[in-house]
């Protein structure tokens, strides 16, 4: 496909996604500008990031450092410097690399990770924003903090000077109704914001369940498939 054809394709799907978000906001009695779009570009090339940035997308999400680090460098070389959100399981040995390009790390789910991030960005003039990934069903095998870990991790972030606690991120568990999952997330997010007034971000909702997430207060939706197309799972 030519660049121009891909640009048209992305422009059309971006318009559809923005329309879905706007409708979901209206249905929920919220203003459309209360919900930010994070374009999840995993498995898609840097050229798509460049095209999306040209179409006005300001935030992109990636889940693997091996893929994201060179992609961010390539996009930057082509003049695209969106805010990169790291949304995948993060290993401590990747923290330094991820902190080199990410503006937000959405998948912080342990105190050990907080310490590693703090060390990686110590001395920077600006704080690095982190979200705590919550495991809604308490099964942390797919990532996410369960139970009281949320409070331990959030207190650890708040105690640093290098990191800023932005809020929470979650993925609805596969076998749950999205509404039930996001309703529960909203309760935790409200408790967190009660303890840490700056922690107002709720990153929830993907291509299949963004409407439910917006109903329950999502401030960020992370959209891949509906924007870029079906991912080839073999890649």
Ligand X SMILES: *Cc1c(COP(=O)(O)O)cnc(C)c1O
Contact positions vs ligand X (CB under 6 A): 40, 42, 63, 87, 171, 206-208, 222-226
- Compute the CA torsion angle 18, 20, 26, 27 (nearest 10 deg): -160
- For helices 178-195 and 149-158, give the axis angle rounded to 10 degrees: 40
Question: Distance of CA 129 to CAs 7, 83, 178, 192, Å?
Answer: 31, 11, 26, 15
Nearer to ligand X (CB atom), residue 122 or residue 138: 138
Which residue is nearest to ligand X, using beta carbons? Answer: 224
Nearer to ligand X (CB atom), residue 155 or residue 179: 179
Nearer to ligand X (CB atom), residue 16 or residue 225: 225
To the nearest whole angstrom, how small is the minimum distance from the Cβ of residue 40 to ligand X?
4
Structure tokens at 225: 């498939």
Write down the H helix ranges in the chain: 3-27, 46-54, 65-77, 95-99, 111-121, 149-158, 178-195, 210-215, 225-228
Give yes or no for a contact between 222 and 187, defined as CB atoms under 8 angstroms apart.
no
To the nearest whole angstrom, how small is the minimum distance from the Cβ of residue 104 to ligand X?
13
Question: Distance of CA 232 to CAs 40, 69, 93, 160, 229, Å?
Answer: 14, 20, 27, 40, 9
Nearer to ligand X (CB atom), residue 114 or residue 171: 171
Nearer to ligand X (CB atom), residue 198 or residue 208: 208
To the nearest whole angstrom, how small is the minimum distance from the Cβ of residue 144 to ligand X?
10
Question: What is the distance in angstroms between the CA of the first residue and the CA of the last residue of the chain?
Answer: 19
To the nearest whole angstrom, how small is the minimum distance from the Cβ of residue 47 to ligand X?
19
DSSP annotation of 33 reads: G
Nearer to ligand X (CB atom), residue 12 or residue 159: 12
To the nearest whole angstrom, how small is the minimum distance from the Cβ of residue 120 to ligand X?
21
The 3-state DSSP class for residue 120 equals: helix
To the nearest whole angstrom, how small is the minimum distance from the Cβ of residue 46 to ligand X?
17
């Amino acid at each position: 496909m030519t660049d121009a054809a891909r640009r048209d394709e992305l422009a059309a799907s971006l318009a559809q996604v923005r329309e879905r978000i706007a409708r979901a906001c209206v249905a929920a009695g919220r203003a459309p500008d209360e919900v930010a779009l994070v374009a999840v570009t995993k498995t898609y090339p840097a050229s798509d990031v460049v095209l999306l940035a040209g179409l006005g997308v300001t935030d992109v999400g990636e889940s693997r450092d091996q893929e994201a680090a060179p992609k961010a460098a390539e996009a930057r070389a082509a003049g695209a410097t969106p805010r990169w959100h790291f949304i995948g399981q993060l290993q401590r040995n990747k923290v330094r690399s991820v902190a080199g390009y990410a503006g937000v790390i959405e998948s912080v789910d342990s105190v050990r990770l907080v310490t590693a991030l703090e060390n990686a960005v110590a001395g920077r003039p600006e704080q690095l924003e982190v979200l705590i990934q919550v495991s809604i069903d308490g099964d942390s095998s797919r990532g996410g903090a369960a139970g009281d870990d949320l409070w331990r991790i959030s207190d650890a972030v708040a105690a640093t000077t290098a990191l800023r606690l932005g809020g929470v991120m979650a993925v609805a568990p596969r076998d749950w109704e999205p509404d039930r999952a996001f309703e529960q997330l909203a309760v935790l997010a409200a408790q967190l914001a009660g303890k840490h007034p700056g922690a107002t971000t709720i990153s929830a909702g993907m291509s299949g369940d963004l409407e439910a997430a917006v109903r329950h207060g999502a401030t960020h939706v992370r959209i891949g498939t509906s924007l870029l197309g079906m991912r080839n799972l073999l890649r």
